Amino acid sequence: MQQSSTHVTENDSPLKTTGIIKAISISKRKGIPKSNIESVRLIENFGLEGDAHGGNWHRQVSLLAMESIDKMRSTGLIKLRPGAFAENITTETIDIPLLKVGTVIQIGDMAKLEITQIGKECHSKCAIYNTVGDCVMPREGIFAKVTKGGLIKIDDEIKIL
């Protein structure tokens, strides 16, 4: 596993600036949990090849930290898996919830994403919210657009540029 590097943020807390892809998930339709896959091509100005959320808009790719999923597991939803929150990329170690709009991250050797949105409004409460009264995606999920495409796979390094 990759060693995580850190730097100090504006409020003097360390920010983990590297991590890995724990899972990649896509779906053919919106509004359903995504299926896990081993690798996928990120397409510049579109998103993940074969994913329903791809297109010419600011939320081409969604990311959520495994640590956020683990928070929800601690409420008793032990069977939650990456992709259950409809996120495309599940990360580990990097501080996804602390990234800011405009931050650029690199995945693997070539693919780059620019963070475009932090969290989202949950218009209709999902099954997870209805079960435990909370969902982390609206607070800790982030969205990005693909600024440089490339093939990504599980265990690829993610780093803040």
pLDDT at position 83 is 85
130: part of which helix (H) or strand (E)?
Answer: helix 127-132
pLDDT at position 147 is 98
pTM for this entry: 0.83
Residue type, 30: K
pLDDT at position 9 is 42
Contacts of 40 (CB under 8 A, 6+ apart): 24, 26, 48, 49, 50, 51, 151, 152, 153
Q: Which domains does the chain have, with CATH numbers?
A: 6-160 (2.40.33.20)
pLDDT at position 134 is 58
How many CB atoms are closer than 10 A to CB 126?
16
Distances 114 to 121, 129, 144 between C-alpha atoms, Å: 20, 28, 5
Per-residue pLDDT of the chain (161 residues; tens, 9 = 90+): 444 444 434 445 567 899 999 999 999 988 777 899 999 999 999 999 999 999 999 999 999 999 988 887 787 766 778 888 788 999 999 988 889 999 999 999 999 999 999 886 665 655 555 555 556 676 788 999 999 999 999 999 999 99
pLDDT, one tens digit per residue, over 84-108 is: 878 899 999 998 888 999 999 999 9
